[in-house]
Amino acid sequence: MRISEDLARAATVFICVTVVLSTLTYVALTPRPREEFFQIYVLGETRMAERYYPGNNPNIPAGQAVKWHVGLTNFMGSIQYVAIRAKLGNSTIKAPSDVDHTPSPAPMLMDFRRVLMNNETWEFPFVWMIKEVRGNGDVVRIAVLDLNGVEIRNGEVSALKGRNFRIIFELWTLDPESGNEVFGWRAGAERRVAWLQVWFNATSPRPT
Amino acid sequence: MLAVREAEASGAEPIQLGLLVERLNLVVGMIGRAEQLVGRGEAEEAAVQLRQSVEVSREVVGKAAVLREEGARSTYYGRLLSFGMVPVASLLVTIISHFSWRWLRRREVERIMRSEIREGKGAREEQR
């Protein structure tokens, strides 16, 4: 009678502890669902959120180099292929849409691509300079732009008196289903986008 | 890219994955350079870049497959070991609790016996 009582108690303890430890092991080994997102940012020449323009003057003359730092951090929980597309826009060109998840129709200046590990931050310099400005009455067009040492000819984007140009940064990723680059990313059933823009005015070259 | 992702999902070592991602970035750079060369009309140079990128890609796919298998195996054995340790740990806890219970019970019985003896002695002394 004594043995069976002890045995019953021990069996109860064993079963209870096994259930608890199995649950704990399962919870510890199962990856927790977490929010999947990217963080994109543009910093000024001092690598801080300031001094985006030389002398803090947004009127950029031709021949004046502007230095920014563009960064992206991957919090998607997995390795990701990303592309940051830099576009030149004005105040009338449509901005990317957070609602429809459509990119801006502005002409692309350059795209920067990379494969990022989870939690990895990628930062690169973005040095640009207006090389040639053409005017037609009040309408000013940035004809040639130098971006990271590459000369880019642009024939489409112009602005009244050279005001309110903008450089748009869009985040594109590789869609694993289609195998194509898509604007934004898929987080579960949701679709998300990330983009930034910095405004500036283009002015005539400084007199030498 | 997909092969490396599969390797990551199977639980491959982050350091090994980092090396593969570096190689992938090399491929991305080569493709970018090839596009620039095509833009400048240097098709032959671009073709060379693309051929090299294909070679590196193949190498990455091969290494990713090995990593995926290793990762899957280590994840499987890790889980097996973790769940295998559960009954062992339960048994240890059961044995410890069993002997603790017995020790506590014996101590309680001894305490009661001692107080009974003390009460008995006290009663006999009173009778005297």
* Residues A18 and A44 placed together within one structural domain of the fold: no
**Does A79 contact B28 at a Cβ distance shorter than 8 Å?**
no
Q: Is the domain of A108 the same as that of A197?
A: yes
- Residue A88: inside a domain: yes
Whether residue A208 is contained in a domain is answered as no
Q: Are both A67 and A93 inside the same structural domain?
A: yes
Q: What is the pLDDT of residues B9-57, one digit of tens each?
A: 888 888 999 999 999 999 999 999 998 889 888 889 999 999 999 999 9
Chain B residues whose CB is inside 8 A of the A117 CB are 14, 17-18, 21
Same domain? A138 vs A157: yes
Please check whether residue A182 lies inside any domain of the structure: yes
A21 min Cα distance to partner chain B (Å):
6
Q: Which CATH number goes with the domain that contains A108?
A: 2.60.40.10
Contact B98 A114 (CB under 8 A): no
Question: What pLDDT is recorded for position A208?
Answer: 45
Share of chain A above pLDDT 90, in %: 71
Q: What 3-state class would DSSP assign to B40?
A: coil
What's the mean pLDDT when you consider all of chain A?
91
Query: Which has more confidence, B122 or A102?
Result: A102
End-to-end, the C-alpha distance of chain A in Å comes to 108
Same domain, A83 and A154: yes
Tens digits of per-residue pLDDT, A70-87?
999 999 999 999 999 999
Could you tell me if A115 and B28 are in contact, meaning their C-beta atoms sit under 8 angstroms apart?
Answer: yes
Nearest chain A alpha carbon to B75: A29
Query: Is the pLDDT assigned to residue A138 strictly greater than 70?
Result: yes
**Do A26 and A108 reside in the same domain of the chain?**
no
Name the least confident of A4-8, A13-17, A190-194. A4-8
Would the pLDDT of A206 be above 70? no
* A1 & A94 share domain: no
pLDDT above 50 (res A207)? no
The whole-number pLDDT of residue A154 equals 78
Q: What does the pLDDT look like over A146-205, one tens digit per residue?
A: 999 989 987 788 899 899 999 999 999 998 888 899 999 988 888 999 999 999 999 865
- Our CA-based measurement puts residue A91 at a distance from the nearest CA of chain B, in whole angstroms, of 29
Chains A, B: CB contacts within 8 A come to 68
Does residue A116 sit in the same domain as residue A132? yes
Nearest chain B residue (CA) to A21: B86
Q: Which among A6, A29, A176 has the least Cβ separation from residue B82?
A: A29
Residues A21 and A117 in one domain: no
Burial of B110 (0-12, 13-18, 19+ CB in 10 A): exposed
User: Does one domain contain both A4 and A95?
Assistant: no
B21/A113 touch (CB, cutoff 8 Å), yes or no: no
Closest-CA residue of chain B to A11: B94
Question: How confident is the prediction for chain B on average, in pLDDT?
Answer: 91
d(CA B47, nearest CA chain A) in Å:
20
Mean pLDDT of A101-123: 95
Q: Is the pTM of this model over 0.90?
A: no
Number of independent structural domains in chain A: 2
**pLDDT for A62 beyond 50:** yes
Q: Which domain holds residue A47?
A: 37-203
Alpha-carbon dihedral B111, B116, B118, B120, rounded to 10 degrees? -170
Q: Compute the average pLDDT of residues B93-121.
A: 91
A141 occurs within a structural domain:
yes
Q: Tell me if A84 sits within 8 A of A116, measured CB to CB.
A: no
Q: Are residues A136 and A71 part of one domain?
A: yes
State pLDDT tens for residues B66-77.
999 999 999 999
Tell me the nearest-neighbour CA distance from A111 into chain B, angstroms: 9
The answer on A52 and A2 residing in a single domain is: no
